[in-house]
Amino acid sequence: MLHQHSPGIYHNKYQKQQQGIQQGGRKLDIEQCRTGNPIDDRWRCDPEWDTNQKRLADCAVGSGKNAIGGQDGEVYVVTDSDNDDPLRPTPGTLRYAPLWDPLPQYAITGGSDGDGISIFSSRDVWIEHCTLANCYDGLIDATYGSTSITIFNNYMLHHNEVMLMGHSDEFLDDKNMQVTIAFNFFGEGLVQRIPRCRHGYFHIVNDVYSGWEMYAIGGSANPTINSQGNVFIASENNSSKEVTKRESSLDAEWKNWNWRSEGDMMLNGAFFTPSGEEAPTSYIEASSMVAKPTSVLTKTSRQQDVSSISVTDYNQSSEAVQKKGENRIDS
């Protein structure tokens, strides 16, 4: 299931408050608008942001910062929220759309390999403000030489193999893959691959992990993993406290892989096993944006946002969104 939503779904309450302030003739308090989220902070204080939504494409950050967001294309309006045939979609449905946000470089798959979002031999991709759960295969998979990808501000829940980055250990074209995974909320019912990386360079920054059944971040074939400013909340299961997993039984091999944790918050017994080099110079290609302190993620705010509310508040917000069922794709 992929649920494509605009920023407004999570910010309805905030926008009403904002409109009230504007109608009352008072200036909007900029500090009340800001959360530390580098994309949302660029639009949420503007009460007329929705009059030119294509400007949101200028806000891209991370490895996918060069994504153009379909700025030269037409705006497609979804008028029919029903789920129809993914192979012969009906005009007006989300499946029929030439989507510009997220980008048209990915394929929304229903009857093919079962991924929620499949990025295949593509570059300059930005995926933002999606809710994903219960797909047949992965929620987001990037393979066959894909690179320059930002996965930002999404909510993922109830799924086994969440994200696969890299086709196989033998597919060497994925050595150039660069991916930023930032300001996402990984919710209840996730098992593993959050993400699972092969080769390449991965910046995992300012995400909230509310638990995992097996592991959170895994990899094989010597990926570089730079984990910064994330909140890892382990489950009550004592056998799944470790954040990391190497798909290699040889300590002499994986101990040379560059994996580091910097500024992460470990809660309820969570722990990250680092390896390889510690020097920042070893992580240049896996450093795509400036990490915010974890206090940005853990504060409770009245704004309904991935980056600025507590775990409990976010789960309540996501349940409300799911009940609406707007623009949803079930695979």
Task: Check if the beta carbon of residue 118 is closer than 8 Å to that of residue 86.
Answer: no
State the Cα–Cα distance between residues 228 and 238, nearest whole angstrom: 24
Contacts of 55 (CB under 8 A, 6+ apart): 43, 49
DSSP 44: T
User: How many C-beta atoms surround the C-beta of residue 209 within 10 A?
Assistant: 24
Q: How many helices (H) and strands (E) does the chain have?
A: 6, 22
Q: Which residue has the tokens 């309540």?
A: 316
Tokens matching residue 100: 């510009």
Q: Which residues pair with 198 in a beta bridge?
A: 220
Sheet of 140-143: strand order equals 117-120, 140-143, 163-165, 196-198, 217-220, 244-246
**Amino acid residing at 199:** H
Q: Which residue has the tokens 């910046």?
A: 203
Torsion angle of C-alpha atoms 99, 105, 106, 110, degrees rounded to 10: 60
Task: Check if the beta carbon of residue 156 is closer than 8 Å to that of residue 172.
Answer: no
Q: Chain centroid to CA 301: how far? A: 20
Q: Which residues pair with 259 in a beta bridge?
A: 225, 275
Positions annotated as catalytic residues are 193
Distances (CA, A) of 32 to 35, 116, 258, 303, 305: 8, 35, 39, 9, 13
